[in-house]
């Protein structure tokens, strides 16, 4: 999807209420990729998936590391998304915005509003890096998959940003307040803080009010070499044990995948 010959588009404009400052439109969204049909990005829905460029974090298990660079322009035009939605009327349920970190981009709200106006549901994957933006975005969103990556004190190690923990856990509280349909996800991998604290994290997520939880086994495909080459001795058994252990937490729905 990435094409080095694609011309650079104008820099993102900051959100502003000042008159005279141009508000971002859907066409400003920097899109790194468009998957026309996904059955996995929103459980139970047929969705087109829009990959937004740029993420302020740097998780060791990121399987889209090319999408982290915030200075990289998009390679897919919004008009391609519009054309897909016009063509797939009645065949697709939804559009899922993912990344990178989709909420980084001020144009996301306009893009979501357009998708809604076109008659589709809107899904969002986020790691909660910009929690306060979620209040507004939740009004434009029908379902959110929120990554809780670790206990707050472990974000420096897991996501490369110490402040990320406070942000992500605040995002959880904000999303629960909005009442948007929510799946909280925790990604685990061998010899890691998320795996070590999975039960504690799940209990805290449940205590705060989330009812749907997904335990995700980090995929190796697409990850950087250091991560892909980590030893995985005994991991299959550990993964089974974690799935079993979390079934006692009391979520309405627990997904292990």
Interaction of residue 50 with ligand SF4, rule CB under 6 A? no
Question: Which span (1-9, 27-35, 56-64, 110-118) binds ligand SF4, by CB under 6 A?
Answer: 56-64
Interaction of residue 214 with ligand SF4, rule CB under 6 A? no
Interaction of residue 58 with ligand SF4, rule CB under 6 A? yes
Which residues lie below 8 Å from residue 229, measured CB to CB, with a gap of 6+? none
Residues 71-110 that bind ligand SF4 (CB under 6 A): 99-101
Q: Which is nearer to ligand SF4, 100 or 131 (CB)?
A: 100
The pair of three-digit structure tokens given for residue 117, joined into one six-digit string: 């106006």
When binding is defined by CB under 6 A, the residue of 26, 29, 32, 55 that contacts ligand SF4 is 55
Q: Which is nearer to ligand SF4, 54 or 106 (CB)?
A: 54
Q: Which is nearer to ligand SF4, 51 or 143 (CB)?
A: 51
Interaction of residue 218 with ligand SF4, rule CB under 6 A? no
Interaction of residue 68 with ligand SF4, rule CB under 6 A? yes
Interaction of residue 57 with ligand SF4, rule CB under 6 A? yes
The upper half-sphere exposure of residue 122, i.e. CA atoms within 13 Å in the direction of its Cβ, equals 21
Residues 145-204 that bind ligand SF4 (CB under 6 A): 159
Closest CB 77 distance from ligand SF4, rounded Å: 22
The number of residues that bind ligand SF4 (CB under 6 A) is: 13
d(CA 98, CA 153): 25
CB distance 122 to 112 below 8 Å = yes
When binding is defined by CB under 6 A, the residue of 59, 109, 171, 182 that contacts ligand SF4 is 59
Interaction of residue 64 with ligand SF4, rule CB under 6 A? yes
Contact residues toward ligand SF4 (CB under 6 A) are: 55, 57-59, 62, 64, 67-68, 99-101, 127, 159
């Amino acid at each position: 999807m990435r094409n080095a010959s694609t011309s650079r588009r104008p820099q993102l404009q900051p959100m502003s209420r000042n008159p005279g400052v141009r508000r971002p439109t859907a066409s400003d969204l920097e899109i790194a990729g468009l998957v026309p049909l996904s059955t996995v990005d929103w459980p139970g829905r047929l969705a087109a998936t829009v990959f937004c460029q740029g993420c302020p974090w740097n998780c060791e298990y990121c399987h889209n590391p090319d999408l982290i660079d915030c200075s990289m322009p998009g390679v897919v035009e919004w008009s391609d998304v519009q054309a897909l939605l016009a063509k797939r009327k009645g065949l697709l349920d939804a559009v899922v915005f993912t990344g990178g970190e989709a909420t980084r981009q001020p144009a996301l709200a306009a893009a979501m509003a357009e998708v809604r106006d076109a008659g589709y549901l809107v899904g969002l994957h986020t790691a909660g890096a910009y929690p306060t933006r979620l209040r507004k975005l939740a009004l434009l969103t029908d379902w959110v998959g929120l990554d809780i990556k670790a206990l707050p004190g472990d974000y420096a190690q897991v996501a490369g940003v110490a402040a990320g923990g406070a942000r992500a856990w605040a995002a959880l509280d904000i999303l629960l307040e909005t009442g948007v349909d929510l799946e909280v996800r925790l990604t685990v991998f061998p010899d890691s803080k998320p795996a070590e604290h999975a039960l504690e994290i799940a209990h805290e997520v449940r205590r705060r009010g989330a009812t749907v939880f997904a335990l995700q086994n980090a995929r190796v495909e697409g990850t950087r070499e250091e991560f892909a080459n980590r030893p995985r001795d005994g991991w299959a058994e550990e993964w089974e044990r974690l799935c079993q252990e979390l079934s006692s937490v009391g979520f309405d729905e627990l997904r292990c995948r």
